[in-house]
């Protein structure tokens, strides 16, 4: 009996030694991470997309937390965004943790820690969620990428989210499921899976749960510069800026106002700046440049083909600015497509407006019938160089002029022919008299004094 009892006790001890580490590991996945530092915490409101502006915002907050010896609290409600900027944010979080400070994530009720946001949350020391909130899905999306490129990025992100979960003690299987199978978890499901630490319905309750209930918590608002950076980091906005700038430039050819030229330069510059920030596709940029050239050619052609083609290429180029850039999730949703459609409609209206202006200018009668200008005299308004177009004033009107010989500016000229809207001129012969006795231009004007 003693031998049986002793065997049972040794067996129970062995089982206890085996199960205890497992229980400890399970508890570590749901227990709060390091307590707050004595100096309190810095709080950022991350209700924005993951983009260059967001990355700079978190970087500034991380530097401020380190400088003031404070923990960092992220109140998160994000749909995700650019993977490259997500990695920058994770790096900023790691910088704070390397200084023996903690970083916490709170996802309020009915908020998102979606896509790139889920990676950021898993990089922190503790995660709490409110009812109705979700974490994930986390599968990345490559705009324009083929299946092999999509799989390549996805495999990398599966390994990345696995390493984050392992590092911070979250359920690795659940984390991998979010990236590999595009799975999302509700707050209750995430707690049950050991993916987050718990649920709290208010910010105060969350702060108490992580040991910051009595600590000083200072808010760190997003700087205006970072908001601007986020705004121009949208590929749709960049493409639209470039298209609007091009149309303003073409309109200025007719209206000749300094205002439109300034607007054109600003919009085009901002568009290309934003494209550079997100590492936009060269293909998309080239398509926008070609679209600009076609719209400008339309001013000369006037039959509509170049304008229609330019508008189509401009919209396609705007879409392709994000080509091969990894996002989480796709950067194109209903809002972006509505913007593209609305811009296309505005470009069509602008084209019709340009067409009306062009037709109105073409319909304006000349002060002198072109058929009667031959043998009239005038003066060269510019130097007339063989093989190049110049300008001559005949009958108080400026004409595009061509000459087979060099004629200096200000010289008397004689019109010898007319065709295709241009006059052919030569040096006028010496005048026969000092007065013509007529208000009409003569074939032999008086000599210059």
What's the mean pLDDT when you consider all of the chain?
81
Residue 216 φ/ψ, nearest 5 degrees: -80, 125
212-226, 256-270, 330-344: least confident range: 330-344
Beta bridge partners of 427: 413
pLDDT at 241: 87
Q: Are 112 and 134 in contact (CB under 8 A)?
A: yes
Q: Residue 354 — pLDDT band, cuts 50, 70, 90?
A: low
Range scoring the smallest mean pLDDT among 12-16, 47-51, 98-102, 143-147: 12-16
On the question of pLDDT at 2 being above 50, the answer is no
Query: What is the tens place of the pLDDT at every residue in 194-239?
Result: 999 999 999 999 999 999 999 999 999 999 999 999 998 888 888 8
Instruction: Give residue-wise pLDDT tens across range 54-63.
Output: 999 999 999 9
> By mean pLDDT, which of 107-121, 280-294, 351-365 is the weakest?
351-365
- Contact between 447 and 411 (Cβ < 8 Å): no
Q: How far is the C-alpha of 209 from the C-alpha of 215, rounded, in Å? A: 12
- Nearest 5 degrees, angle CA 107-CA 112-CA 115? 120
Direct distance between the N- and C-terminal alpha carbons of the chain, in angstroms, rounded to an integer: 142
217, 73 contact by CB (below 8 A): yes
Peptide bond into 329 cis (omega under 30): yes
| Measured distance CA(449)–CA(428) in Å, rounded | 16
Are 30 and 198 contacting, i.e. CB atoms less than 8 angstroms apart?
Answer: yes
CA 279 – CA 189 distance, rounded (Å): 37
Are 40 and 213 within 8 A, CB to CB?
A: no
3-state secondary structure the chain: CHHHHHHHHHHHHHHHHHHHHHHHHHHHCCCCCCCCCCCCEEEEEECCCECHHHHHHHHHHHHHHHHHCCEEEEEECECCEEHHHHHHHHHHHHHHHHCCCCEEEEECCCCEECCHHHHHHHCCCEEEECCCCEECCCCCEECCCCHHHHHHHHHHHHHHHHHHHHHHCCCHHHHHHHHHCCCCEEHHHHHHCCCCCEECCCHHHHHHHCCCCCCCEEECCCCHHHHHHHHCCCHHHHHHHHHHHHHHHHHHHHHCCHHHHHHHHHHHHHHHHHHHHCCCCHHHHHHHHHHHHHHHHHHHHCCCHHHHHHHHHHHHHHHHCCCCCEEECCCCCHHHHHHHHHHHHHHHHHHHHHHHHHHHHHHCCCCCCHHHCCCCEEEECCCECCCCCEEEEECCEEEEEEECCCECCCCEEEEEEEECCEEEEEECCCCCCCCCCCCCCCCCCCCCC
Q: Is 142 left (phi over 0), alpha (psi -120 to 50) or beta?
A: beta
Residue 441 is predicted with a pLDDT of 47
Nearest Cα to 391, choosing from 423, 419, 362, 418?
423
Specify the range with the lowest mean pLDDT, choosing from 70-79, 249-258, 354-363, 370-379: 354-363
| Residue 393 scores a pLDDT above 70 | yes
How long is the chain?
Answer: 449
> How far is C-alpha 61 from the geometric centre of its chain's CA atoms?
23
Quick one: average pLDDT of 305-320? 79
Query: 1: pLDDT confidence band, cut at 50, 70 and 90?
Result: very low
**What's the rounded Cα separation, in Å, for the pair 24 and 362?**
86
Contacts of 356 (CB under 8 A, 6+ apart): none
Is residue 174's pLDDT more than 50? Answer: yes
Could you tell me the pLDDT band of residue 49, with boundaries at 50, 70 and 90?
very high
What pLDDT score was predicted for residue 299?
65
Instruction: Tell me the average pLDDT across 402-422.
Output: 88
> Are the C-beta atoms of 416 and 443 separated by less than 8 Å?
no
Q: Among 175-179, 312-316, 403-407, which is the least confidently predicted range?
A: 312-316
């Amino acid at each position: 009996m003693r031998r049986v009892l002793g065997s049972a006790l040794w067996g129970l001890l062995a089982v206890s030694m085996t199960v205890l580490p497992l229980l400890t590991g399970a508890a570590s996945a749901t227990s709060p991470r390091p307590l707050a530092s004595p100096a309190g915490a810095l709080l950022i409101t991350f209700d924005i997309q993951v983009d260059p502006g967001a990355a700079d915002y978190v970087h500034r907050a991380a530097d401020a937390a380190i400088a003031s010896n404070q923990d960092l609290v992220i109140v998160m409600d994000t749909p995700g965004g650019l993977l490259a900027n997500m990695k920058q944010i994770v790096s900023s979080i790691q910088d704070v943790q390397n200084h023996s400070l903690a970083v916490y994530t709170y996802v309020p009720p009915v908020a998102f820690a979606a896509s790139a946001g889920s990676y950021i949350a898993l990089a922190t020391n503790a995660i709490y969620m409110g009812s109705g909130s979700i974490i994930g899905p986390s599968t990345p999306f490559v705009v324009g990428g083929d299946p092999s490129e999509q799989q390549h990025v996805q495999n990398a992100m599966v390994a990345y989210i696995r390493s984050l979960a392992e590092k911070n003690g979250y359920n690795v299987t659940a984390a991998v499921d979010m990236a590999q199978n595009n799975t999302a978890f509700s707050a209750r499901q995430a707690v049950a899976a050991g993916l987050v630490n718990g649920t709290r319905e208010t910010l105060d309750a969350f702060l108490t749960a992580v040991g910051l209930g009595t600590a000083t918590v200072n808010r760190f608002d997003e700087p205006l510069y970072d908001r601007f950076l986020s705004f121009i980091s949208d590929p749709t906005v960049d493409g639209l800026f470039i298209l609007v700038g091009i149309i303003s430039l073409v309109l200025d050819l007719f209206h000749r106002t300094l205002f439109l030229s300034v607007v054109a330069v600003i919009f085009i510059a901002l568009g290309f700046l934003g494209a550079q920030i997100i590492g936009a596709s060269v293909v998309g940029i080239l398509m926008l440049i070609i679209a600009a050239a076609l719209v400008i050619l339309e001013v000369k052609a006037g039959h509509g083909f170049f304008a229609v083609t330019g508008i189509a290429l401009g919209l396609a180029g705007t879409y392709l600015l994000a080509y091969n850039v990894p996002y989480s999730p796709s950067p194109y949703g209903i809002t972006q497509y509505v913007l593209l459609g609305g811009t296309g409609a505005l470009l069509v209206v602008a084209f019709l407006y340009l067409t009306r202006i062009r037709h109105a200018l073409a319909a304006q009668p000349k002060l002198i019938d072109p058929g009667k200008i031959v043998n009239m005299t005038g003066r060269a308004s510019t130097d007339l160089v063989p093989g190049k177009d110049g300008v001559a004033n005949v009958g108080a009107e400026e004409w595009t002029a061509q000459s087979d010989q060099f004629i200096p500016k200000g010289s008397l000229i004689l019109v010898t022919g007319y065709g295709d809207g241009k006059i052919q001129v030569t040096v006028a012969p010496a005048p026969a008299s000092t007065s013509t006795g007529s208000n009409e231009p003569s074939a032999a004007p008086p000599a210059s004094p």
